[in-house]
Amino acid sequence: MRVDRRAALALGGGVVAVGALAAVGVAVRSPYAPAPELPVGSWDPGPAAGTYDLGGHRVELGGPGGPRPGQFRVLRGTTPVWWARDGVIAAGRGALEWSDAHGHFSDRRRLATLWTEARCEQVAAVGTDTLRLIGRFVRPHRDAGAEPVWTLVLVSRGDTLEVEVSVPAADVVLLRSGLAADEAVHGLGAQFTGFDLRGRDLVLVTREQGVGRGKQPVTVVVEKARGAGGSPTTTYAPMPTLVTAGLRRLDWDQDRVAEADLRGGRLDLSVWDARITARWRTGAGPRELVRTPHDGLPGWTGTGAVVAAQGGSAEVRRKLAALDGAAVCAVWIQDWVGQRTTGFGSRLWWTWELDRRRYPDWEQLVAELGARGIRVLTYINPFVVDPGEKPGGVRRDLYHEALERGFLVGHPDGGPYLLDQDGFMAAMVDLTNPAAYAWYGQVIGAMPRTGGWMADFGESLPFDAVLHDGDPRELHNRWPVLWEQLCASVRGADEFVFHRSAWRGSRAAHWAGDQLTSWDAYDGMASALLGMLAGGVSGLPLMHADAGGYTSLPQPVIRAHRDTELLLRWCEWCVWSPVLRTHEGNRPDENAQVWDAGAAPAFVQQTRVFRELAPYRAGVVADDLPAIRHCWVEVPGTEAARRDDQYFFGPSFLVAPVLEPGVTGREVALPPGRWVLVWTGEEYAGDRVVRVRSLIGQPPVFHRAEDATAADLSRRIRAL
């Protein structure tokens, strides 16, 4: 259960008035509005003008009188790796100013000085693979002060070009690269927007993704009321990795906030640090560029659904009984700690001990489920709360224990940094304190579970926090990884732990966040798929979704809830993913659930299909390619590769989710070859767009006609 972004939704009667303004087009300025583009610059190689062979790369520095004046270009063989004509590097002095509304961080870029005119003064080859350039910036914008020194080091290592830019006098450093006219750009984490990011300006900071994210009028309502509407590029899980249709990949190592500006027909990568260390890599195809090592998944997660059920022992038993015959591998009981109710809906007590009032026979319940081969998952996050108002009290007061021992993130004015969770305050455990880290690891390890847990949050560290060790500006993006590493340190070998926030170095499984219970591509079901496709090519290969979505809104004008059709359409494509996990949502009683009479038979059948795919899924999960793959990864250059509404599940199955209500079919762009529809065995000629009928539970799914393994699986699925 996620709360920060939902804090914006206990809005009361003001929603109607604000929604009416939105409906007639009254604008509310978003704090997420893109910053202005930075001006073009220039590159003067000076004495370095010429061509340099560095192992597998050739560096061309065009001088004023040469064939390419002012051009900087690096090639591997004949393949361009990095080039620019409007300046290669830039730097500036200034700051990012942050505002925070319940974890919805927004920034304002303030540059006092900007240097864009780079002149090289020294060049030195170091061995056969390294080139070191040293120079100064001249004619600074907005400043007539000193000309700061810069250093640019290029190192050739096989198919990788290592780059280091250092400007000691700067607060922000920029790398600029040209883009070919048709060179799409992908990745940068779980970006819930179009797969091609060109034309966008993305601030790479882990934060709440917002509610609505451009869907109107909900975005303007939430933004006006609480500053938490988000934008198409706000995300829990940014990653400092991008890949392009030109078969180039760029990664960088700095954890401070970065900005990838893809407007103006080029890439401007700015990092709020005095240096950038990065790597350009080229490959023969997309698959070569998007491989990412990960920690895998326990085999049992692929054998059935993870069903979210809560409400106490009797309710969990009742809900599972309604799913008789379903393939269920685990029950996720998030309210094991007890439940509180707020204006937003059902919430949890973050006291991290078993609520015996709600689950008096927990051990018996767990044993019953275990005898049926069903594991029990729980929930935790890196916050603790004062339990003073909890009915029945607690046996161990973790909040005051952490407070007395100095284990909480501090506020600049003193005391713990208490963050408003809409109805209660919470404090973060300081993961930079080794003693606090070990203490909280013991808390996590003591959770009464048999299968793992949801490891929520990770994106909420304030930029002005006081830490035991380190600068929060360095650690804000790093916090999700610290949280992930702590959970991994106490995770059992066969436990499933899944996270939402991420940054470079993440190796765990992730879910795609907290979508609205709606169909749309802004913040609904279609957006979940977009986030998974982008995350997959930039370091998050094992992503799944909250099947059915999470956030429901009861207020007039912006109301959102899920009906049976949305729930089942969402579940049916999650069958063709690494994990099939449901969520009751923030308002369970107002939304369709999988155990409802109108949904249960179809959901039971979906779980059986999921189970039938278990051997195939195990191979997909074991690979280091994304489990859910944009068609560009498998069939680049085809019509299918230009579509964001279909994907490959592993190498064999092409899946086309039904993303609109009330339809009984959809168009599918088939790649070249012969393709077989899983549900009927009917064969289709490829390299064309076909329209396919789709009953509930049967989204268009194809396999190549020559794929014997997939054909055998399809026959078994048809026999269910």
Q: What is the CA radius of gyration of the chain?
A: 26
In contact, 338 and 372? CB cutoff 8 Å? no
Closest CA to 244 of 220, 271, 257, 262: 262
The helix (run of H) or strand (run of E) holding residue 435 is: helix 434-445
Cα dihedral across residues 585, 589, 592, 596: positive or negative = positive
Closest CA to 537 of 182, 157, 176, 191: 191
Take residue 247 and report the two structure tokens written for it: 């078969």
Cα separation, 186 vs 171, whole angstroms: 27
The helix (run of H) or strand (run of E) holding residue 546 is: strand 546-547
Parallel, antiparallel or unpaired: strands 305-308 and 328-332: parallel
Cα dihedral across residues 257, 475, 508, 249: positive or negative = positive
- The residues annotated with a catalytic role in the active site are 456, 459, 514
Closest CA to 84 of 280, 256, 336: 280
Determine if residue 323 is left, alpha or beta; phi over 0 gives left, psi from -120 to 50 gives alpha, anything else beta.
alpha
Cα separation, 25 vs 29, whole angstroms: 12
Parallel, antiparallel or unpaired: strands 665-670 and 628-630: unpaired
**What is the DSSP code string of 34-100?**
PPPPPPP-EEE-GGG-EEEEETTEEEEE--TTSSSTT-EEEEETTEEEEEESS-SEEEEEEEEEEEE
Cα separation, 698 vs 682, whole angstroms: 14
Cα separation, 149 vs 138, whole angstroms: 10
CA angle, 541 then 492 then 539, to 5°: 15
Cα separation, 220 vs 211, whole angstroms: 10
**What is the DSSP code string of 468-524?**
SSS-HHHHTTTHHHHHHHHHHHH--TT-EEEES---TT--SEEE----BSS--TTTS
Exposed (0-12), middle (13-18) or buried (19+): which is 143, by Cβ within 10 Å?
Answer: middle
Inter-CA distances, 238 with 200, 259, 441, 462, Å: 15, 11, 25, 17
The helix (run of H) or strand (run of E) holding residue 219 is: helix 218-226
In contact, 20 and 226? CB cutoff 8 Å? no
SS3 371: helix
